[in-house]
Structure 1
C-alpha cells in the first residue's frame, strides 16, 4: 500500500505561514475572543460624563459587572476623581485620543500629540488599550498605535446608541449582541452628537438596567483584558476611513 507523500512547503510559503499570525498580532485589531465561557466585554467611548458616568458606575457595581472605558483626554482632564473611581472599581481604561480626531485624515505629528496628551491625562490609570475615534484607521495610524505600545480594540457589535432610541429598542438590540466573547461598542457620552436628542444617556442606562436583569445569571461582564484571558483573541485587518 502506497504511503501518503508529505507536502513540502517552499521557503517563501513557510515564511508567509509563519508571518501571518505575527502580522495579525502586531497589526490586527481585536474584535472578539473565541471562548466557551459566558463572558462579554461592554465598552464605553467618549467619556467620562459628569452626570451619566457616575450613574453608569453605580449600575455596574450593582450587578458586579466590569467594563472598559475608552476615554477622551479633554473630558478626563477635569474629572480625575471620576477616572480614579473607575480604576478603583476594577474597570479598564483605554486611550481614545485627546480630542476625538479622525485618525486616518490627521497628520502624523498631530496623531502622536493626541495619543501622548491623552496618555498623560489618563496616567497612572490608563492601560495599553486604544480605540480610534469613529473606528477609523489607516495603515499609518495603526503603526502609530503600535509604536505607542497599544492594543487596538474594535468591536463585534454595536447598537447605534448615537441615535436617539427608546430604552426597549436599545435593550432589544443589546441583547441580540450577547454572545460569548463579544466586544460591544457603547457610549457613556457622545463627543460630537449628530442627533442632539441622543446626547441624553438616560435611555441607554435604562436599557442596560433591563439587560443586566435579564442576563446577569447567564453572562459575566468583564473588561477587555479579562476577555482576552478567557480565550483566544481574534484580530483582523481593520483599515477603513472614519465614519
Structure 2
C-alpha cells in the first residue's frame, strides 16, 4: 500500500483528565473528500487541528507524507495544507481581496499569477462583488466564504475545512460542498467537519463518525449512516431512506 498523504497512528489528545481524542488511527489519501461528523464535543475540530499540525498529539503520531507534522517548518507546511478554521473574525480594516490574498504569502511573489488565483477564488466562493468591502462589515456567511477563499488560494494538496457550511444559506452550502468535491476529484485530500449528515452523505467519499473522542464508524456514507449507528452515537432515533434523486442515504429524524 502506498504511503498515505495524511496519517494518524494511535493519536490521543488530553485536556486535563479527559481524552478529547483517544487512540485515533486514520489513513487519508489524495483524491478523496472525507467528512468528519459526530455530536457536539465528539472531537471533530480537535482531530482536524491534529491533522493540520496545529495541535500535537499527547500520544501517537501525526504524519504528512510520512513525516511527523511537528517536524515541518511553518512555511513548508503552509505549502502543503490549508486550513479554514471556525473563527472567521478579522479585527483590522482589510478588504476582502486583501484577506484572500494573504493565502498567497507562502508562495514566491508573482503579481500576475497571484492576482489570477485570487480572482478565481473570489469567483469560486461567490464573493467577487464584495472584493473591496471591509471584512469587518461582512455577515457571518460572507466572512465564512472569504475565509474559504483565503484557504483555496494556498493551492495545497491538503485542504482542511472546519464547519465551512455552518453560517451559509442553502445555496452556498451546496455550492461550497460541490467545490470541495471537485477539489478532491482534482487530486487533493479534502477533510471537512460537518454537522449536517445529509450534506456529508451527498458529497463525501468517506465519512468518519466520532463519539467521545473515538472513531465510532468509518466508511462510505451507506456503510456509516445506518439507523443503528446514528441512534447509538447521537441518542436520536432516525429513519434512513434513499434520497429520491441523489441515490445516497437520507437521514430523517423521527419521534422518540
Q: Same fold (TM over 0.5)?
A: no
Give the number of the structure whose residues are more often strand, by fraction: 2
Question: What's the TM-score, normalizing by structure 1?
Answer: 0.29
Q: Which has the higher contact order (CA 8 A, sep 6+)?
A: 1
